[in-house]
């Protein structure tokens, strides 16, 4: 059985009564219901973050990406490079990590061409060099 709540009909709220439970549906007119794409999601403003806090956060973000290949590439790079990165390089690395895992991996390995905004980052050039200098020996996550 479907009943419309009179005061909320303009908002498109409906109550559905079914065997043993009640559901409330809400469909507000003019509101986008699809999930935003990754290009529509804006990164969090961290402009006032302290440098050491940023370094620790970036270490965590390089280790917890979700794709093993990216975790290994980025965490080994961070272990080697983060302690000596300048403030500008930390900002660039933070921006780079806002991209999708597979994109970063393919760009750094040369499997796909990186966009100009990424190619122009000095930190990306260092990541490419790190990726190219890898040997065929076993790789594991660096110690914390």
- CB distance 118 to 107 below 8 Å: yes
Tens digit of pLDDT for each residue in 24-51? Answer: 555 555 555 566 665 667 777 777 889 9
d(CA 54, CA 48): 10
User: 51-132 belongs to which CATH class?
Assistant: mainly alpha
pTM: 0.66
Nearest to 62 by CA among 135, 123, 114: 123
Residue-wise pLDDT for 46-76, tens only, equals 778 899 999 999 999 999 888 888 898 999 9
Residues 6+ positions from 91 with CB-CB distance below 8 Å: none
Could you read off the pLDDT of 91-141 as tens digits, one per residue?
Answer: 999 999 999 999 999 999 999 999 999 999 999 999 999 988 866 565 666
Residue with the two structure tokens 């986008």: 32
Q: Where are the domains of the chain?
A: 1-29, 51-132
């Amino acid at each position: 059985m479907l009943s419309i709540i009179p005061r909320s009909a303009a908002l498109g709220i409906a109550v559905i009564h079914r065997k043993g439970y009640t559901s409330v549906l809400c469909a507000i007119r003019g509101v986008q219901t699809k999930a935003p794409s990754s290009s529509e999601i804006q990164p969090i403003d961290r402009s006032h973050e302290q440098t050491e806090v940023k370094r620790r956060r970036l270490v965590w973000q390089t280790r917890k990406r979700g794709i093993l290949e990216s975790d290994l590439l980025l965490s080994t790079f961070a272990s080697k490079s983060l302690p000596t990165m300048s403030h500008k390089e930390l900002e660039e690395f933070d921006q780079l990590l806002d991209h999708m895992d597979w994109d970063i991996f393919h760009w750094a390995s040369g499997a796909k061409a990186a966009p100009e905004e990424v190619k122009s980052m000095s930190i990306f050039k260092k990541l490419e060099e790190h990726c190219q200098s890898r040997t065929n020996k076993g790789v594991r996550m660096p110690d914390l």
